[in-house]
Amino acid sequence: MTLIRCILSFLVIVSGVVDAAICYNPDRSTTDNVPCNIDAGNSTCCAKGASCLSNNLCLDPTFRGQDGLSINNKYYRGACTDKTWNSTACAPICKTKLPGFGEGVVYCGSGEYCCQEDASNCCDSNSAKKFNLGEPKIFNIAGNQVVGTAVSVPSATSSGSRTSSSTSSSSPSPTNDSGASSTTSDQDPPNNSKGKTLALSLGIGLSLGILLIAITIGAFWWIKRLQRRQKETQIEMKAQLKEQELRFDNMEHALRQAYFDGRQFELPSREEVSHEVGDRGEKTTYRHEVE
């Protein structure tokens, strides 16, 4: 039982680690993105090497300038380790137009963003919804260690071009605005077609691990059963030996008894024969010698 409990505990731990390493799109399909914050319970996911923003958006390195921010104010909504996307660690915007992929997001300035799929120039479009997620600040590179300083852009023109930049000494942690809705990307975020391959590999590996553990448990049970049978056989053999010994003792006793019973009918070489005569039971004793 102790071995089984240890195995079950190990499987639970492994399952938790595997789940934490998997990133999901809004439609719950898997992706090959990697978590931005490996120390958090849940985290935004971006393509490996992409910049992770403190507002849970991502920046394709193709559009990354010398200051670390986008050269054209184009970012994208990546994936998330929370399969349900209910965690505040998941980007709250632009989730409906391309739920199975990353979706483009444009920074309009003053901390506001819009979904590229809402309009060709969503920053200038009145029909495109704007979301206030704060100024873009890079806090990590997906797959790398946390960046020491955060880079911010205080303002941008309505057309989406960046006008100025500054550097902040703080290193913010990723936050989220919970009141956001959904939409997509002009940045052409990386296709996450490798996600299924990664999930399949993890599934095969986990299945093989479970199979190996099952074989180990089966072998352990079989050995225990074999040992139990050997012990039962030894006990049975001892009982049979004891029964045979008892039979031999009884047989020996019977033979001895038969031998002594037979001796009672043999006449000795000399004996006294008593003979009762008369009605009163008077006894006359004769002594004679038997050849």
Of 196, 238, 142, nearest to 25 (Cα)? 196
Q: DSSP secondary structure string, 227-264? A: HHHHHHHHHHHHHHHHHHHHHHHHHHHHHHHHHHHHHT
Q: Nearest-5° angle of CA 261, CA 262, CA 268?
A: 110
Q: Is 220 helix (H, G, I), strand (E, B) or coil?
A: helix
Q: Which residue has the higher pLDDT, 23 or 173?
A: 23
47: left (phi over 0), alpha (psi -120 to 50) or beta: beta
Rounded distance, CA 78 to CA 37, Å?
13
Residue (of 1, 5, 6, 12) closest to 206 by Cα position:
12
Write out pLDDT tens, residues 225-258: 888 888 888 888 888 888 888 888 888 777 877 7
Range of lowest pLDDT (14-18, 78-82, 172-176): 172-176
For the chain, helix, strand, coil in percent to 5 are: 35, 20, 45
What H or E segment, with its residue span, contains residue 51?
strand 51-53
Distance CA 15, CA 29 (A): 18
As to burial, measured by CB atoms within 10 angstroms (0-12 exposed, 13-18 middle, 19+ buried), residue 131 is buried
Locate the domains of the chain by residue range. Answer: 2-192, 197-291
Continuous segment of H or E residues that includes residue 140: strand 138-141
CA angle 270, 271, 274 (to 5 degrees): 155
The pLDDT value given to residue 198: 62
The DSSP 8-state label assigned to residue 117 in this structure reads G
CA distance 90 to 92: 6
β-bridge partners, 132: 112
Of 119, 89, 90, 70, nearest in space to 25 by CA: 90
Rounded (10°) CA dihedral 107, 45, 88, 19: 170
Q: Is the dihedral of CA 136, 60, 30, 199 positive or negative?
A: negative
pLDDT digits (tens, 9 = 90+) for 115-172: 998 888 999 998 899 999 999 999 899 987 554 444 444 344 333 444 333 333 333 3
For residue range 33-87, list pLDDT tens digits in order: 999 988 888 999 999 999 999 999 999 999 999 888 999 999 999 999 999 999 9
Q: For residue 23, how many C-alpha atoms fall within 13 Å in the half-sphere facing its CB?
A: 31
Give the Cα separation of 124 and 109 in Å (integer).
Answer: 11
